[in-house]
Structure 1
Amino acid sequence: RDLELRTETGVFLLRYLIRFGKYDEAIEKGKELLEILKDRQINRTHALISMLVGDALLKKGKLGDAEDFLIDAIAAFRRIGEHDGVVSCYNRLAKAMKDVSRFSRALEFLEKAADYAKKHGLDTFLGPLYGNQAVILIKLGHFRRAEELIELAGRSYETHGANSHEKMQLTFTEVFLHLQKHELERAGRGLSEVQKVLVESGDPRAEALFHELVGILKLKKGEAENALHHFRKSLEIGERIAPRSEIVNQAKRWLGEAYLVLGELEKAADCLRESIEISDEMGDGYERAAALRALGHVELKRGNREKAVKVLRRVSDLFESMGNEFEKAVTLLDIAVIAAKNRDSRADTFAAMALRAFELSGSEYWKARAAYALATAYGAQKKYAEAFRELERAEETFSKFGDEEYIARSNELRDQIDAALVAVASKEFNYFFRKDRIERDEVKVKLLLENFVRELDAVSGLIAFSDVPGEIKVEAAYNVDREDLTPILSEFDALMAEGRNVRFSSRGNDLRVRFRTATGNGFLYIKGNGRPLSKEDILGALHFSDLLEYLFRTQPLSRNEGRTVSIVIPSENRYIVTRNPEMLDILAFIEKISDLPLPVLIYGETGTGKELIARYIHRKSRRSSKPFVPVNCANIPTSILESELFGFKKGAFTDAYEDRKGWFEVADGGTIFLDEVAEAGPTVQAKLLRFLEDKIITPLGSRESRKVDVRFLAATNRRLEDEVREGRFREDLYYRLKGVLIELPPLRERRDDIPLLASYFLEKVRTELGIEVTEITRDGIDLLMDYPWPGNIRELENVIKSAAVHAGAGGRISREILLTLIGDTRGTEVKKLKAELEDIEKKRILRVLEEVGWNKSRAARILGLSRQGLILKIKKYGLTSTAVRQ
């Protein structure tokens, strides 16, 4: 009886010591009591003491030891059948893990608590447990699952009852979700509901949280001054409760964010540093990283761009270490915008990574923010078609959410891209259609018209001419229905009779332009897409008509008998440049098969342009407005290629926390292109065969099949018939793939294209690098013609770039410069350019890895590679760390 009384008294003493912050005494006393009880039968007192020692250890930040004691308490509560004690311990562990940003572990404990509560009929525990899970998932950006749990919590409260405090906490959680998703109206309605019951609750913590959330809402609405008032109120209440608490920490951080928006940088920095200090004391990695991110923006506003980017990259690493892909993506978005403004070529990579994460989160708004950043990056890289596509995607969402700031930013970006597109188009036309290069033929004129119509985002176009009065001939038509032909041509005579050069429709979205031919007049017709044509569109049409006038006045129509013409085909802001007969046959063949419902297999050596041809097939097809999804099988480990292509269900494997679409579903309605398809393993090959047979895919871990409408293109640099013989590739899949086979000739078999391609790449260097090299000398061209080009077109492009750098502004690319890069192929010493480049790459990768302590994620970001791409290169070069080598 004395022992029982002593231990019960000990429990009261432990509670007292913990309440007044005497954690070391509580831990020592609790361990003494457990030592006394170790040979006794486990009872409720034993469980309570273990739980309280665990609580004290948590307060001291000793998570590992605390977890051991709380797990002992759980075992003890289970043994005596006190089920609410089990749930309470799991909840304690979850809160502790959440407070130090170990979110995955916190979710694990909450899920165990919920499962245990359901199993033992503790229904009243379920609502709060679901709500706590939802809060963590919102922080992680898993919005869909958070919404499901909020709904489950609400249903639990309806069925089993809940007090006003529990209901208010659930409403706070919903508001937090809406704010993270930028659903500001819904967040405002939720806060209005809370305000009605807040005064009655008398809960200062709830009041502080209310002011914090109102402040965030005001800040997101652009009302920074108003937001400051609420953050100060939250801070004031928090400091009364506990001066170094979670409430105070968050209020300090948000005050810093508000001061940042108002341009009060010193105040912002002070608040953010205080938040970081408190976060360090509490072990709150999430708040620390968020405050550090805001400090990065303070540095950016001070003009310290490099320092800002360095801070933001560090923040990205911090969120990644927590498993918080959403906040990492928000940070990458910040980096992408900075990179785009400074014409950093990695801007689109950062933005695309963020977009992928936001697509998984289920947030329309954040997807739009990523699309805007991607559009900015593409605009800086002169990828105007991609920029417009992403911008339109973003604008629609910003309008839906009523985000005036980003609507204005989008309009400004659209104007910038419009202006740049006209300037670049003029420059490219002036380059590609010089007198020494252009020849008029029906294929070329049709392609020119098609690409010009696409550039204007118009519907259709037509070029006609009349060399004999009363006789009109159609030179080329794109997307013009036969029944529309007569009304269009009737406009020709009217335009000639009026003596005008330009004529509009009444709504200003159709355009007719006159030009002169050798013995008569020509006529360019453009049908708009319903929107009025801009000034830039009209200037572009006039410029295009100047080009047509040059063609029609200087050259008769060639029917391409010798097929020795130069064709330039803009495709996704890239160009297929050739006058080679075999390549021209391939392009003509693509015209015929572009819409056939057959797979296409493209064979060619490395660097021959297989992906470019695949993109051209897609662009020529009726699917051109739908996604084109390229996947390089060689860059994805065999172990995950199946899940990348076909998607997976939640729980299909470790880390499969939610359902995810594969690339086949992403490409639905469009085209998928599998490069290096020979690298696919047996399982993937079997699934590809099933898709090709019945258009059905099955995500990993799912029993349900799905039908997708996808055009299938594949490429390889290996002979698949050899792979079949060696047993590495399925014979039935091979015969399915080669429904349409396109074989691309290597550059050594296209020698007549080498001067054309060299000039094209030289102009790219002028445009992209700003190096105004004048020309390639005649003997330099001769050397290029003699070289065997094992790396094909890609190698030629790299050589021209390197040679231009050596030549410098105003210089010429001479034979001597080229000899330092590729050697004299007619001599005995042929330098291996590819080997040299690989050696340089190998040394750079190793240097960066050593600098960052072999942190592959950080190294990949510095090198501009994906993490998986870096791992593949480490394996390729057989790299090991200095420590391992020693």
Structure 2
Amino acid sequence: MKEHRLEGVYQDKKLSYIRSLVDDKKFSQALAEIREEETLNRFGLDSVEQGEFLYLSALVLYHTGRYKEALAKASKAYEVFRASSANQILGNILYILGAISQALGDFDQAETELRDAVAAFRRADDHQGIADCYNKLANLCFVRSDYSQASRYLKLALTQVDKTGDQRTKAGILGNLGRIYSLLGEWDKAKENLKLNLAANEKYGDEVNLARSWLALSYVQMLRRESSEAKESLQNAYDLVIANNLPRELAIYHEYFGELCLLEGNAKMAEEQYQKSLEIGEKIAPDGDIINQVCRLMAELKVNTGHYSSAAKFASRSLEVSQQLGDRLEEGACYRVLALIYDHNLESTRAKKQLSQALKVFQKTKNDYELAKTYMVAGKLKCLDSLTALKFLSKSEDIFSELGTKPYLAATYLALAELLSGENEGSQSLLFAEEAEKLIAGLDDDQLKQQLLALKQRTQLRLVEEKQSLNSKYDLAHIITASPRMRSIIQLAERFKDADIAVFIEGETGTGKDLLAKAIHYSSKRRDKKFIAVNCSAIPEALLENQLFGYAKGAYTGADRDKPGLIELADGGTFYLDEIADAPLSIQVKLLRVLETKELVRLGDNEPRQVDVRFIASTNRDLNHALEEGRIRQDLYYRLCGVRLVLPPLRERKEDIPLLLEHFIKDTGPLASNLTEVELTELYSKLQAYDWPGNIRELENEIKRSVVMAGIKERNLLELLLEKFEGLRNGSGKSLNEKVSDFEKSLILQALQATNWVKTKAARILNIPESTLRHKIETYQINSENG
């Protein structure tokens, strides 16, 4: 704020000298003079000089971070001038009262005092004072996350400053706009405004505001992953902060330096810096904005290092202070980190509630940047199914692409890659990982680069191992069947395996459509090229179009390079469209064009590209109904249906059950040798009497789980399978999902009982991660009482 000299008031030489020190921003020296003057007690209780001295004391105490003492002095100064017509000094006192109230966390009081200050300055016809108040009100809205109102106040401030011609103050307001842009994810605008602000502060020798400019610029540089520049800016800020004895700015320095340390992978040093910031914050304002911000950052750090109990404590403290301050941005960020904590603790209901609250906050405040960060976190939650997670990550990608925030777009691609890797979609996972690598190639983000490298190595190793076994595993000759219908289908597939015509596979869920599609590819002349599969029901429409067809540089904001689609990457190989009936009609139109012309056009491009791809499609829906309902375009169906293969359900090929049973038992372990020919014959008869609504997949799950439980309970496999078969037959009124859930719950319960409820051992027996076991225990509400 520009300080105002009152003509005729400063008759006292000491007050004039203190005022000159304040004008020169020499607050430490001014404080020493004030302390000396306090011992003399020279002024009358209600004199103008006493009021001026109290005001100057409040001003200096505020700028040196002594807020409570500053409040007492400013309140007394206001009482001295309250009944006077000295509107300018009243405006100054009300302004500093508002600033102090904000620093102490009393935002409502701060807003009232600042509005009263505007009125006082209007009476004094002081445009500079009005501009300062609007700027401070904008800062108040900024802390409350009301960025639209903050922007309006800043524009009002600029209007007032233009009347004064004060370029110095104008630069300061532009700096505040830069800070708002940084939190909205508009980093280029933020950097531009902050550099203008910094240059002005350097020009005028304003060391206090120069320190703040360097801090704000360092934060934007960190967000842009410009670590070297951020370090330099932080060092410049630190030198000025120490030289001018600025405790609040010192706390912010430690906060930002901690974030930079974490960005570079040094969690220990980051925690040390956060702790220093908290210690300063507790001294100057125990319920102020330093506390809620750094506690939230500390909670995020603890989550990253696996200390969830400690993370919960910091997040709760931050949430409490944020709600007291009305700081909606930090409140939403707290909900976000609490969602991660509850998700880790397998408290899925509470995790989803915290996620919902975070989304509501950022949707209400229209903060797309924080909203996208929350979508990205949602995509990582274990309590959400993979389809929901994909939808959240797709929304995150859209926003970060629009904003052009490369580091967060790369982090979103990493999350997508990890999700797809977990779904055994290795090829697609690598595509996203490679996109993330390109985005951060020129950025300083060692942590993200290490995560990407580890993911790529894991995925590539698995793909190599899979490729070595695919040629032998997925071969038409190796499909297990004794069914005449299945043999006819295999013979037909064998005849057309090397043809370029499309294949359409129909069949219920669990009948082996995916297996047949892979067998056709790995038996064909295309076996050495890629087999890429996409589940059309599992990927949101916007993301599906990008993934299938790719995009050209400049196709939309954030598309800063050409990206080939999955169809292009399958050139020379086979592209498998699983659940084609669930593909959006807009996608079906583009697929039809590729099938007809053997060409595709990337999004945002006009240049067609030749592709040599053999298409296989499948659906588990009733095809006639799908066509009647318009789920599948007839022209696309006719193009895909070069060869139509209809897989029978297991209930119509029960002669395959003995072969499948033998294969699954052998594939699971050595326990098959425990069954005699007589026992096997009895088991065949029982299993063939059941209709298997879940088809081969249901049979496989039942056999493999029973083999595991036979080992746990030291039971005869035949007895266990027969018991399980009776349960299946008696529960035939239930859906497949219900039956699978019942069986899974039973299996988990038996494993827990066998290990005296030691979850680590039970997870080892079940051959699943302990985190997965804990999640399922919560989902099924399993405890020792109901066990």
Q: Pick one of 491, 506, 515 that aligns with 1:585.
A: 491
Report what 2:324 is aligned to.
281
Partners of 1:797 and 1:684 in 2: how far apart? 34
Q: CA deviation at 1:709?
A: 7.7
- Is contact 2:287–2:321 with CA below 8 Å preserved after alignment? yes
> Greater CA deviation, 736-745 or 164-173?
164-173
Q: CA deviation at 1:245?
A: 1.8
The 3 A distance-change label for structure 1 pair 627 and 85 is farther
Partners of 1:116 and 1:737 in 2: how far apart? 63
Q: Does 1:212 align with 2:241?
A: no
The 3 A distance-change label for structure 1 pair 705 and 786 is farther
Q: What is the TM-score with the length of structure 1 in the denominator? A: 0.50
- Is contact 1:599–1:737 with CA below 8 Å preserved after alignment? yes
Q: 3-state SS of the aligned residue for 1:601? A: strand
The 3 A distance-change label for structure 1 pair 692 and 89 is farther
- Is contact 1:676–1:715 with CA below 8 Å preserved after alignment? yes
The 3 A distance-change label for structure 1 pair 765 and 624 is same
Q: Does 1:569 align with 2:474?
A: yes
The 3 A distance-change label for structure 1 pair 453 and 354 is closer
Partners of 2:587 and 2:459 in 1: how far apart? 44
Report what 2:717 is aligned to.
812
Q: CA deviation at 1:267?
A: 9.2
- Is contact 1:73–1:89 with CA below 8 Å preserved after alignment? yes
Partners of 2:115 and 2:640 in 1: how far apart? 57
Q: Does 1:837 align with 2:741?
A: no
Partners of 2:160 and 2:527 in 1: how far apart? 55
Q: Give deviations 1:402-443, integer Å, cap 9, x for gaps.
A: 85999699889979998xx8xxxxxxxxxxxxxxxxxxxxxx
Partners of 1:109 and 1:688 in 2: how far apart? 47
Report what 1:128 is aligned to.
175
Q: What amino acid maps onto 1:810 in structure 2?
A: R
- Is contact 1:131–1:170 with CA below 8 Å preserved after alignment? no
- Is contact 2:506–2:619 with CA below 8 Å preserved after alignment? yes
Q: What amino acid maps onto 1:133 in structure 2?
A: I
Partners of 2:262 and 2:732 in 1: how far apart? 61
Q: CA deviation at 1:592?
A: 1.5
Q: Pick one of 467, 470, 473 that aligns with 1:454.
A: 467
- Is contact 1:577–1:756 with CA below 8 Å preserved after alignment? yes
Partners of 1:409 and 1:704 in 2: how far apart? 29
The 3 A distance-change label for structure 1 pair 683 and 585 is same
- Is contact 1:608–1:746 with CA below 8 Å preserved after alignment? yes
- Is contact 1:309–1:335 with CA below 8 Å preserved after alignment? no
Q: CA deviation at 1:211?
A: 2.5
Report what 1:245 is aligned to.
288
Q: What amino acid maps onto 1:244 in structure 2?
A: D
The 3 A distance-change label for structure 1 pair 611 and 727 is same
Report what 1:4 is aligned to.
none
- Is contact 1:215–1:226 with CA below 8 Å preserved after alignment? yes
Partners of 1:835 and 1:705 in 2: how far apart? 48
Q: Pick one of 193, 215, 218 that aligns with 1:175.
A: 218
Report what 1:234 is aligned to.
277
Q: CA deviation at 1:392?
A: 9.9
Q: Pick one of 140, 148, 154 that aligns with 2:188.
A: 148
Q: 3-state SS of the aligned residue for 2:617? A: strand
Within 5 Å, give how 1:782-797 maps onto structure 2.
782-797=685-700
Q: Pick one of 660, 670, 695 that aligns with 2:569.
A: 670
Q: Pick one of 721, 731, 745 that aligns with 2:634.
A: 731
Within 5 Å, give how 1:355-394 maps onto structure 2.
357=396, 360=400, 362-363=406-407, 366=411, 370=415, 378=422
Partners of 2:337 and 2:621 in 1: how far apart? 50
Q: 3-state SS of the aligned residue for 2:636? A: helix
> Greater CA deviation, 263-272 or 280-289?
263-272
Q: What amino acid maps onto 1:791 in structure 2?
A: G
Please identify which structure carries the higher helix content: 2
Within 5 Å, give how 1:542-691 maps onto structure 2.
568-569=473-474, 577=480, 580-582=486-488, 584-585=490-491, 588=494, 591-593=497-499, 596=500, 600-614=503-517, 628=532, 630-633=534-537, 642-646=541-545, 667=566, 669-670=568-569, 673-680=576-583, 682-690=585-593
Q: CA deviation at 1:209?
A: 1.7
- Is contact 1:126–1:156 with CA below 8 Å preserved after alignment? no
Q: Give deviations 1:682-728, integer Å, cap 9, x for gaps.
A: 555445445555655687xxx87686788555322346566546666
Q: 3-state SS of the aligned residue for 2:618? A: strand
The 3 A distance-change label for structure 1 pair 153 and 415 is closer
The 3 A distance-change label for structure 1 pair 57 and 217 is closer
Q: CA deviation at 1:585?
A: 3.3
Q: Give deviations 1:226-277, integer Å, cap 9, x for gaps.
A: 5566445534554554343212444556678889999999999887765555
Q: Give deviations 1:842-872, integer Å, cap 9, x for gaps.
A: xx9xxxxxxxxxxxxxxxx99989xxxx9xx
Partners of 1:610 and 1:84 in 2: how far apart? 75
Partners of 1:836 and 1:298 in 2: how far apart? 29
> Greater CA deviation, 362-371 or 52-61?
52-61
Partners of 2:735 and 2:576 in 1: how far apart? 26
Q: CA deviation at 1:190?
A: 3.7
Q: Give deviations 1:624-653, integer Å, cap 9, x for gaps.
A: 8879452343x67xxxx54343369xxxxx
Partners of 1:625 and 1:787 in 2: how far apart? 41
Q: Does 1:747 align with 2:653?
A: no
The 3 A distance-change label for structure 1 pair 219 and 803 is closer
For structure 2, the 5+ residue unaligned runs are 1-51, 53-57, 79-90, 163-169, 363-369, 548-555, 746-771, 780-787
For the aligned residue pairs, the C-alpha RMSD in angstroms reads 7.0
Partners of 1:831 and 1:707 in 2: how far apart? 53
The answer to which structure, 1 or 2, has the higher relative contact order (CA under 8 A, 6+ apart) is 2
Partners of 2:130 and 2:151 in 1: how far apart? 13
Partners of 1:398 and 1:335 in 2: how far apart? 27
Within 5 Å, give how 1:33-182 maps onto structure 2.
95-96=139-140, 99-100=143-144, 106-109=146-149, 127-128=174-175, 130-137=177-184, 145-153=185-193, 169=212, 171-177=214-220, 179=222
Partners of 1:680 and 1:388 in 2: how far apart? 23
Within 5 Å, give how 1:23-34 maps onto structure 2.
none
Q: 3-state SS of the aligned residue for 2:287? A: coil
Q: 3-state SS of the aligned residue for 1:715? A: strand
Q: 3-state SS of the aligned residue for 1:756? A: helix
Partners of 1:162 and 1:214 in 2: how far apart? 23
- Is contact 2:300–2:337 with CA below 8 Å preserved after alignment? yes
Q: What amino acid maps onto 2:726 in structure 1?
A: T
Within 5 Å, give how 1:260-409 maps onto structure 2.
275=318, 277-284=320-327, 287=330, 306=345, 316=355, 319-323=358-362, 324=370, 328=374, 357=396, 360=400, 362-363=406-407, 366=411, 370=415, 378=422, 403=446
Q: What amino acid maps onto 1:569 in structure 2?
A: Y
- Equivalences, count: 621
- Is contact 1:569–1:577 with CA below 8 Å preserved after alignment? no
Within 5 Å, give how 1:402-421 maps onto structure 2.
403=446
- Is contact 1:773–1:810 with CA below 8 Å preserved after alignment? no
The 3 A distance-change label for structure 1 pair 63 and 785 is farther
Q: What is the TM-score with the length of structure 2 in the denominator? A: 0.55
The 3 A distance-change label for structure 1 pair 98 and 308 is farther
Partners of 1:160 and 1:725 in 2: how far apart? 69
Q: CA deviation at 1:197?
A: 5.3
Report what 1:187 is aligned to.
230
